[in-house]
Structure 1
Amino acid sequence: MLTQPSIAADARIMLSACAAPRRESRDHFSDRFGGRGYDTVEGLCSDPDVEAIYIATPHQMHRDHAVTALRAGKHVLIDKPLCVDLEDAQAIVDCAEETGRHVIVGPSHSFDLQIQKTLNLIESGEFGPVRMIHALNYTDFLYRPRRPEELVTAEGGGVVFSQAVHQVDIVRLLGGGLVDSLCAATGSWDPARPTECAYSAHLTFRSGAFASLTYSGHAHFDSNEFCGWVGELGNDADPDSYGKARSALTGVASASEEAALKSMRTFGGVGALPDATHNEHFGPLIVSCDHADLRPTPDGVWIYADGEKRFVPVPTHGAPRRAVFDALWAAVREDRPAIQDARWGLASLEVCHAILRSAGTRTPVMLNHQVPVRGRS
């Protein structure tokens, strides 16, 4: 549902079929796009007109759905994270390489256009190597309607698997990809939401660069205030809506009632997203190089160089997730793998697991599955 506006704006992409357990979702898809609706993933994967499948199912289903699609000869765009378990992620990596099909893990905020522009500025060499990155985000994530498994860490619930992977992807992309070690702490502060609501992590890259990542989904401070009141999805946020998420849950009497509220946010549910007039973002970010600090924003990138400060605008052109579909097109039509392929997704998932492990043991964790940004040594 969140990606649909960018799909609709891209003439290269045609939505021809879907699979969904809810008849309402299938009927809405057929009414809106004229495509076929299947009640199983296997049915969708058998459709000869489908070249690529976007998997946006719950995290714990990703392995089965991705492997089914790959073995049917389909390319796969899979929502982050790649999986919950590292073993499942490795199985997707292996299947993609065995079948010769492409996997792209996204949309994630590493595809945001201003992040892509920041990467271009880094790779230009004008400002020297990356030395330090700071990423910060405060949201109401844990207090939005959730299915029961979204509050169970082992099933992919909490902020680490769903949210840290965004920050990890961004920081790995801009820092070269190869995280060497990390130390982290997590917070679980509400017995009614018994999973991680916050984390802070310090990452060291093989290059010697380092990064700090901090996130809270505890629904108090909103870091959109630091981003000109632009929401995560690029729409204008309302500074007067403070407390809305927590307030909406006060009248929910059961887990099933909350799950029903969550289902209304899926495709075919009630309500439409506001138009995005800015790029999507994932909170304040500063990248320090030898000769400049780079600060991506929802509208572009601020450059604080040795002798000047300047702004590089990055327009959305009506499709905030365009870079995702640039990567998909290049993979399917030109056989060019994306940076955020299955091995990249495995590496980012490894960092998420390391955050939980370091927090649990209060010790540093070394990383073993890291890969560089494609095209860089």
Structure 2
Amino acid sequence: METINLGIVGLGRGFMLTLPALRDNPAIRLRAAFSLRPEPRAHFAEQFDALACDSFDDLLARGDIDAVYVATPHEFHAEQTIAAVRAGKHVLVEKPMAIGLEDCMAMEAAAREAGKVIIVGPSHGFDAPVQKAADLVASGDFGAIRMITTFNFTDFMYRPRRPEELDTARGGGVVYSQAAHQIDLVRRIAGLPVVWVRATAGNWDEGRPSEGAYSALMTFEGGAWATLSYSGYAHYDVDELVGWISELGFEKDPEAYGAARRKLAGMTPEDEIAAKIGRTYGPGSETDSPPRAPYHEHFGFLLVSCEKADLKVSPTQITVYGDSERRTVAIAPPRLPRVEVIDEFVGAITGDRQPVHDGRWGVDTMACCEALLQSSRTQRDVAPASLIDAILEKNRP
């Protein structure tokens, strides 16, 4: 397949952030799009000399669409992905894969039965520094992996949100949206199955009614573990620890402290939805000439402890703290953000590479997310594999 004709489902923030990498890849042709909002549909058709489909079914019915990028709200991922693979399309689906483990398993099974590719992303497990750290660990040069320490403090809960983004049952809060990133990156680095999860999650603001923070201990097969913490309550900003580089790889002004809360304070619910839409793709957005990030994306502080060294992962380099010396491993600046995601998707479709973040990967990450929530509610260790086994047993003929 020389050219992959791609259909876009959902012209929101996720699509806008991934668009530069899509446009850059010579194998991708942006062929069609469907969005509930007519303005971005028309803008897409004009910008790319492409088709603006009136419905999702119309897009799937087109025989000239080889693959679909599902970038809609979380609650639609399962239904749309299953319909797409059954219509003969490969799928790139935004994280989280879906808002329930059983849905994720159904998506993976449908793709397998149809012989189609599912890639789950973008997530920060794709980030070039994370992939380099994973390669260093896998080399064995520093001995066995022992521990991963990662934490992130952001303003996630006070950015403009649709109502469903603050409803756990509909995929809202930080566990589905943000733990999926953090779990992906520690799994990518460790390269080992997760055996147990013990966690506590908190909702500390009645006005934003979903989990806004968590801490988790994940134990891997063989005894290594990872500690993961996240807060989206817009107080401390972890970007201070990575040279004031933002999550998306831009330089950040530390004097802008508190901006998210201040902007949100005067908004009505209608204003908040309008502000959310204003950050997405469409006429007047940054999509025609987006600023290029000088640094790699990141997800907060990340330290990997092996037998013979600690590896501190940053948006610009990996610092190796060995037994007797400290040295740095340079990471080349990004050509564009998220090219790793599109390269993996294209390579999986063409058969040129074995994907990491496939449907089974997405299932295992969601099992960890659900284990995190279940552990918080029961205050017990939860085995992600047991959640998968329970669903398989329930659905056994």
Residue pair 1:183, 1:365 contacting (<8 A) in 2 also: yes
Matching residue within 311, 314, 325 for 1:294: 311
Structure 1 position 52, deviation (Å): 1.5
Q: Distance in 2 between matches of 1:301 and 1:95?
A: 39
Matches within 5 A, 1:314-325: 314-325=331-342
Question: Which of residues 255, 258, 265 in structure 1 aligns to 2:279?
Answer: 265
Match of 2:248 among 233, 236, 241: 233
Of 134-143 and 361-370, deviating more is 361-370
Q: How many residues align?
A: 370
- In structure 1, what is the Cα distance between the partners aligned to 2:134 and 2:243? 22
Partner residue of 2:268? Answer: 253
**Structure 2: stretches of 5+ with no match in the other structure:** 1-15, 389-397
CA contact (8 A) 2:134 2:191 kept: no
Report whether the alignment pairs 1:343 with 2:360: yes
Query: Which of 118, 122, 143 is equivalent to 1:103?
Result: 118
Structure 2 letter corresponding to 1:154: A
Runs (4 or more) in structure 1 with deviation over 3 Å come to none
RMSD: 1.6
Is the alpha carbon distance of 1:187 and 1:147 closer, same or farther for their aligned partners in structure 2, counting shifts above 3 Å? same
| TM-aligned CA deviation for residue 177 of structure 1 | 3.6
Q: Give the match for residue 294 of structure 2.
A: 277
In the TM superposition, residue 369 of structure 1 has moved relative to its aligned partner by 6.6
Residue pairs, 1:7-22, within 5 angstroms: 7-22=22-37
TM-score, structure 2 length as denominator?
0.90
Deviations 1:207-239 (A, max 9, x none): 100010000000111101111111111111121
Aligned-partner Cα distance in 2 for 1:3–1:68? 23
Contact 2:137 2:190 in 1 (8 A): no
Equivalent position SS for 1:14: strand
SS of corresponding position for 2:252 = coil
1:118 equivalenced with 2:133 (yes/no): yes
Q: CA deviation digits over 1:69-116, x for unaligned, max 9?
A: 101111111000110011111110110110010100000000000111
Q: Tell me the residue number matched to 1:94.
A: 109
Return 224-233 or 26-35, whichever deviates more.
26-35
Q: Quick one: distance in 1 between partners of 2:272 and 2:234? A: 17
- In the alignment, structure 1 residue 156 sits paired with structure 2 residue 171: yes
Using the TM superposition, give the Cα deviation of residue 343 of structure 1 relative to its aligned residue in structure 2, in angstroms: 1.0
Q: CA deviation at 1:151?
A: 0.6
2:180 is the alignment partner of 1:170 = no
Sequence identity of aligned pairs in percent?
45
Opposite residue 338 of structure 1, the aligned amino acid is: P
The answer for unaligned runs of 5 or more in structure 1 is 372-377
Distance 2:206 2:89 in 1: 42
Q: Distance in 2 between matches of 1:46 and 1:81?
A: 26
State the alpha-carbon separation in 1 of the partners of residues 55 and 188 from structure 2.
Answer: 35
Equivalence for 2:9: none
